[in-house]
Amino acid sequence: MSNEIFKVLVVDDEEGIRDGCKRVIERMDFPVETAENGEIAIEKFKKDKYSIILLDLKMPGMDGISVLKVIKEIDPAVIIIIITGYATIDTAIEAMKQGAYDFISKPFEPEHLRIVFNKASEKLFLELERTRLQAEKQSMLLDLAEEKSRIRSIIDFLPNGLFVTNAENKVVFMNTVFRSDFDITVDEGLSIDSYTDNKTYIKHIESFLDLTPDDDEIPHFELKLPNGKFLLSQGKPIFRGDISVGSVFIFLDITEIKALESLKADFVAKVTHELRSPLATIHEQLAVVMKNMPDTSEKDDKYILSRAKEKTKGLISLISDLLDMSRIEEGVHHYDTRKVNIPYVLENIVDFLRSRADSKKQSLTYECHGNVPEITGNQPSIESIFGNLITNAIIYTPEEGSIFVKVSLKDKYISVEVIDTGYGMDKKHIDKIFDKFYRVKDDNTRFITGTGLGLPIVKALVEALSGKIVVESSPGKGSTFTVLLPFDN
Report the residue number, 147 or 435, with the smaller CB distance to ligand ADP: 435
Tell me: does residue 450 bind ligand ADP (CB under 6 A).
Answer: yes
Of 191-199, 215-223, 266-274, 438-446, the segment contacting ligand ADP by CB under 6 A is 438-446
Q: How far apart are CA 285 and CA 247, in angstroms?
A: 59
Residues 18-57 interacting with ligand ADP (rule: CB under 6 A)? none
Residues 388-407 interacting with ligand ADP (rule: CB under 6 A)? 392-393, 396
Of 115-123, 127-135, 363-371, 452-460, the segment contacting ligand ADP by CB under 6 A is 452-460
Report the residue number, 34 or 451, with the smaller CB distance to ligand ADP: 451
Among residues 455, 460, 464, 484, the one that binds ligand ADP under rule CB under 6 A: 455
Tell me: does residue 452 bind ligand ADP (CB under 6 A).
Answer: yes
Tell me: does residue 425 bind ligand ADP (CB under 6 A).
Answer: yes
Tell me: does residue 475 bind ligand ADP (CB under 6 A).
Answer: no
Task: Give the number of residues in contact with ligand ADP, rule: CB under 6 A.
Answer: 20
Tell me: does residue 420 bind ligand ADP (CB under 6 A).
Answer: yes
3-state secondary structure 148-217: HHHHHHHHHCCCCCEEEEECCCEEEEECHHHHHHCCCCCCCCCEHHHCCCCHHHHHHHHHHHHCCCCCCC
Tell me: does residue 387 bind ligand ADP (CB under 6 A).
Answer: no
Tell me: does residue 440 bind ligand ADP (CB under 6 A).
Answer: yes
Cβ of residue 420: shortest distance to ligand ADP, in angstroms?
A: 5
Cβ of residue 170: shortest distance to ligand ADP, in angstroms?
A: 40
Tell me: does residue 312 bind ligand ADP (CB under 6 A).
Answer: no
Tell me: does residue 209 bind ligand ADP (CB under 6 A).
Answer: no
Report the residue number, 320 or 445, with the smaller CB distance to ligand ADP: 445
Tell me: does residue 422 bind ligand ADP (CB under 6 A).
Answer: yes
Cβ of residue 145: shortest distance to ligand ADP, in angstroms?
A: 55
Report the residue number, 86 or 447, with the smaller CB distance to ligand ADP: 447
User: Which residues contact ligand ADP (rule: CB under 6 A)?
Assistant: 392-393, 396, 420, 422-425, 433, 438-440, 445, 450-455, 479
